[in-house]
Amino acid sequence: MSYSTSHIAAVTGNDAAIRNDSIIEHILLDSRRIIDPVTSLFFALKGPRRDGHQFIVELYKKGVKNFVVSDESYADTFADANFIFCDDTLETLQQLVVHHRARFNYPVIGITGSNGKTIVKEWLYQLLHENFNIIRSPKSYNSQIGVPLSVWQMNEQHTLGIFEAGISESGEMFRLQKMIKPTIGVLTNIGEAHSEGFNDAEHKFREKISLFKSCKVIIGREIDLEAGREVIEMMGDQIKLVTWGYTETSNVIIKGTDKIGNATFIHLLSGNRNFTIEIPFTDEASVENAITCCCVLLHLEMDTEMIAAGMKNIHPVNMRLELKKGINHCTIINDSYSADLSSLEIALNFLDQQSSNERKTVILSDFLQSSLPDEELYEQVMESLEKHRVTRLIGIGERISTQLMHLTAAAAEKKINVEFYSSTKDYINHFRSSHFKEETILVKGARSFAFEKIVQLFEQKAHQTVLEINLNAIVHNLRQYQKLLKPSTKVMAMVKAFAYGSGGAEIAGILQFHKVDYLGVAYADEGVELRKAGITLPIMVMNPEENAFEAIAEYNLEPEIYSFELLHSFDRFLQQEGLLHYPVHIEIETGMNRLGFSNAQIEKLGDELQKTSSFKIQSIFSHLAASEDPAQDEFTFMQWEKLSIAVVSLEKKIGYTVLKHIANSAAIVRHPALELDMVRLGIGLYGVDSADTNKLNLQTVTTLRSTIAQIKHLKAGDSVSYNRKTIVNKDSVIATIRIGYADGYPRRLGNGIGKIGVKDCWVPVAGTVCMDMIMVDITGIDDVQEGDDVVIFGGSLPVQKIAEWAGTIPYEIMTGISQRVKRVYYEE
């Protein structure tokens, strides 16, 4: 769906300065998430901490030319851009979405309640997506900003909408209702969360239920809907109630539940139909959410056998709780999303499930979404912690700290150690990693406390020894290869595997400064780190995983698509997120037999790409298997021919041309005809000529250094290291070096196979390589002292030689250097 800027100005009733009427397809609120600047309309929203107007200059430079503003002065600064003027940019956004919603007549399910909205929405999608083409709220987009972003994604191809609505104060649901305008209402439950903005429970119910004034039916718990029947009847007698509960007056009666293993069997009666559904969950919240979903399916006249089959296969919704490995053998549960009693109970249940340690620590912020008095609230918190056998509570915030001061004695009786801090910053200043060991830590706080900073503390890594990286050499090597390319040929610099061990963000920064066109990483987390470090270049992710899709979209990374399974799963994710024309890269299998679509699959692939508007194909590429080997040149050119055939077919199907690339570092030198539109420069950038052509003057980029910890004088017959594999046959001087296989030094180099540089001499490794140490024989070298620097590789001892001794390739040596080895960057 698209609108012109002049049409948008007209339907929202605003004045405008239209210099070049544009077609708008995308609503843009975040300057970091631009997909297509030409068809984006930026709304300069004003928040409590940031004003969207301050990003207009940045967005204009990135190609955005359409803006909705409340400050008209910007229109004079950018004479070729379109501006719509209004008093309230959020209100204008919502007006536009109301107009958009009015164009569609298919059923829309509106979901509200105190808890469970997102889970019910996602489970309904899982249960109904085979029967309907569904548009639904991305993630938990249920706010005054999230709802318009969700509803904007509606189009003629959809046959069902599912949107959730969340409110925290009076008057908010009135605006959400006009945008969602549901025909089927779902009330998950009425609980304590988000109560502080309302006078009482009845007031909150009236506000929430107002979402359903355009509905033909409302589905929910009998205990909630019967209590509010009078309010519902005032909305109109045309509304039908479908209730579930444990009494005979419910439309769907719960006859009982049985929990067996990790499953719950729920026995139901609907009309004269008795049936049972099985769900793979045992907690009460999941049972209630599943029953609510079942009632929706019954209303949609789905057969009970189909309902039972679908319910058995619903899977968890990964919304808020993240499980991570942390420092000192700790396990971290990240729930830095919300803080209320209901979600605390869910998180503590998860803590019980995941905790393999007796020690449990909970880090909590102030509870900002509660109508209870603080004293009563935090007494309930302590009771919950005791029930789940938490051993330590760390409270962060003024309110929780005040209450914990009064509850310290009670906590001691419950065997809960208590600490409290006034703010997140205060806690970080006092943080000591040594205070945590072999325990499970739940980090749970309201978003405003920025607990993600605390989670990062638990993920920190230690470093030792030094890998020196010469940034000048990186630039020099880049220019050596660019001399071989046509001016029009783009360069994708590969910074995967921590930039071949050299440090991704730092290397990417220097490459960005020197205007490479693309970056390539192996996994999404590498790309995320680059974005966090300020890298704005396009980044291709070569091994995207389904659990990283959210990070890929959030940080505007471009995944490689290599299989139909990946194509379909990423397509579903993009539809869930409401993202269109997302940039992706297609890999063709031409002979590596690792990843990619075969030529036999190309026709089907083209058909699949035609069916969806989720993707914008940025490039089609393949990997060469042996471009460095002259004996394999015939095979190399056969790979090129296969790629060319696939490209012709796919470009015909999708209707536009894309970038093509197949050449790696060796092919840039040996096969100029294969440079196509772009080349991928990898190991050569780091000073290794993998084709051994001697046509390039490459410089050493990395030097691995360590120091001598101790020097020992051995007698003939003494042994060195584990297993006594090395016995010295004469009096010898042995130096112990602070590096081992845990740092990436190969164990294969022990017992005289490997050498290191000491005082410009190559000396052999003596004995077996240890985890953190190696020993070398420095007999006969003068003036060697404890603490002296030694060179593991670099300079006159190239990494290629280390790889040769170890029986491997330079890639493995370079990428194997542990993250605990400190990286030092320098420019000469």
* Tally of CB atoms within 10 A around 396: 25
What DSSP string runs through 677-745? SEEEE-GGGGT--TT----S-----EEEEEEEEEEEEEPTT-EESGGG-EE-SS-EEEEEES--GGGT-
- Which are the contacts of 75, defined by CB distance < 8 A and separation ≥ 6? 17, 69, 81, 83, 85
Q: Is 604 a catalytic residue?
A: no
- Answer whether 678's CB lies under 8 Å from 492's CB: yes
* CA-based nearest residue to 332, from 315, 310, 307, 357: 357
* CA-based nearest residue to 86, from 27, 13, 152: 13
Alpha carbon of 353 to those of 257, 347, 349, 513, 791: distances in Å? 21, 10, 6, 48, 48
- Answer whether 112's CB lies under 8 Å from 208's CB: yes
CA–CA gap between residue 489 and residue 248 (Å, rounded): 74
CA–CA gap between residue 334 and residue 311 (Å, rounded): 28
Bridge partners of 467, per DSSP, are 704, 823
Q: Is 660 a catalytic residue?
A: no
CA–CA gap between residue 109 and residue 94 (Å, rounded): 19
Bridge partners of 432, per DSSP, are none
Residue 825 identity: Y
Question: Structure tokens of 383?
Answer: 């009771």
Region of 145 on the Ramachandran plot (φ > 0 left; ψ -120 to 50 alpha; else beta): alpha
Region of 94 on the Ramachandran plot (φ > 0 left; ψ -120 to 50 alpha; else beta): alpha
In angstroms, what is the C-alpha Rg of the chain? 31
What DSSP string runs through 571-610? HHHHHHHT--SEEEEEEB-SSS-SSSB-GGGHHHHHHHHH
Q: 3-state DSSP call for residue 366? A: coil
Q: 3-state DSSP call for residue 251? A: coil
Please provide the distance, in angstroms rounded to a whole number, between the alpha carbons at the two ends of the chain. Answer: 54
Residue 388 identity: H
Question: E strand or H helix at 363, and its extent?
Answer: strand 360-365
* CA-based nearest residue to 165, from 208, 229, 105, 104: 208
Bridge partners of 23, per DSSP, are 4
Question: Structure tokens of 248?
Answer: 């005979």
- Which are the contacts of 139, defined by CB distance < 8 A and separation ≥ 6? 118, 319, 550, 576, 577
Marked catalytic residue, from 65, 414, 496, 642: 496
CA–CA gap between residue 744 and residue 466 (Å, rounded): 12
Residue 166 identity: G
Q: Give Dmax over CA atoms of the chain in angstroms.
A: 103
Environment class of 395 (CB within 10 Å of its CB; exposed 0-12, middle 13-18, buried 19+)? buried
Marked catalytic residue, from 515, 722, 759, 822: 722
Question: Structure tokens of 417?
Answer: 């150690």
Mind telling me the catalytic residues? 496, 722
